[in-house]
Amino acid sequence: MTLALDQRQRAMLAEIGLRGFAAVPLPAVAQEPAAPPVAIRAPRPAVAEPTIARSTPVPAAPAIAPQPVVRLPAGPVAQMDWEALAQAVAGCRACGLCERRHTTVFGVGDLQPDWLVVGEAPGEQEDLQGEPFVGQAGKLLDNMLRALGVDRRRKVYIANVLKCRPPGNRNPEPAEVAQCEPFLRRQVELLRPKIILALGRFAVQSLLGSTEPIGRLRGRVHQYQGVPLVVTYHPAYLLRNLPEKAKAWADLCLALEQLRAQAG
């Protein structure tokens, strides 16, 4: 389906570095006025924060090859409602990342989303502000979503694999991904999005349990807990590898197609 681009969509494509990229199928998008967000942030913990004990032993991080993420038993997390889950994340001390974080980053957005966007981990700004994707990578993500006619504040929830910042923005370790995985799993169960967009290899490792490169997983629709899932490159990677933006754009179009197919 290749449709004519309107002026706004052309401007957005130019903004994300895809000027003249009109050949990519772009679904027509109805323009609706932006509505106020349903619920933007997870509530801050009240007085006592429930803690997740650092009790479950997790294998040490590998030296070289990417390792599949070990799935830990979800335990009490699997029973939590949204509020309890948010408080459990806020009080979590299950791995060493809690020592240096300013704040946990639970996620942000519409609690009845069509889209669930899953990134990697908070960076410096996210750690300070408590909100995912507020830096340069977030700006690119917002622009790409907007080019599809999707507003970050409407029908979108954004979360990360890790809820705490790895020091110096280093890669998440498999043990950290494993400790955080039950939180993300429960977020998906409670949000029941219509489509999941997995950004980058750590989102893929956590959700699909795969260490395959993104290039081999993108371009088709996967499933996570019965929800269609599309894999694409992480925006931070796209900022360093501009030619890959066209592929990411095609992935977003695939995700939108999936969403529309569900609407019938």
* Beta-ladder partners of 171: none
Q: What are the angstrom distances between the C-alpha of 49 and each of 54, 86, 192?
A: 15, 10, 26
Q: Which amino acid is at 65?
A: A
Residue 58 CB coordination number (10 Å): 17
Q: Exactly one of 126, 142, 173, 176 binds ligand URA (CB under 6 A); which one?
A: 126
Q: Which of 122, 166, 182, 228 binds ligand URA (CB under 6 A)?
A: 122
- Residue 93: CB minimum distance to ligand URA, A: 21
* 130 binds ligand URA per the rule CB under 6 A: no
26-65 footprint of ligand URA as x/- string (CB under 6 A): ----------------------------------------
Paired tokens of 140: 């690119």
What residues contact residue 1 under an 8 Å CB cut-off, 6+ apart? 25, 27, 257
Of 208, 14, 228, give the one whose Cα is nearest residue 115.
228
Residue of minimal Cβ distance to ligand URA: 119
Q: Could you say which residues in the range 204-243 bind ligand URA, by CB under 6 A?
A: 236
Per CB under 6 A, the list member of 137, 180, 196, 217 interacting with ligand URA is 137
Which region among 38-46, 93-101, 113-121, 144-152 touches ligand URA (by CB under 6 A)? 113-121
What 3 state SS string does 47-63 have? Answer: CCCCCCCCCCCCCCCCC
113 touches ligand URA (CB under 6 A) = no
* Structural contact between residues 201 and 170, judged by C-beta atoms closer than 8 angstroms: no
Instruction: Compute the least distance from the CB of residue 236 to ligand URA, in Å.
Output: 6
Alpha helices by DSSP H, listed for the chain, are 7-15, 82-90, 124-129, 136-147, 174-191, 201-208, 214-217, 235-240, 245-263
Q: Does 173 bind ligand URA (CB under 6 A)?
A: no
CB of 4 to ligand URA, least distance (A): 33
Task: Report, in Å, the least distance between residue 123 CB and ligand URA.
Answer: 5
Asked if 166 is part of the footprint of ligand URA (rule: CB under 6 A), the reply reads: no
CA atoms of 121 and 137, how far apart (whole Å): 12
Rule CB under 6 A: say whether 121 interacts with ligand URA. yes
90 lies in the binding site for ligand URA (CB under 6 A): no
From the list 64-72, 73-81, 109-117, 127-135, the region that binds ligand URA by CB under 6 A is: 127-135
Nearest to 200 by CA among 152, 168, 248: 248
Residues of this chain that interact with ligand URA (CB under 6 A) are 119-123, 126, 132-133, 135, 137-138, 160, 236
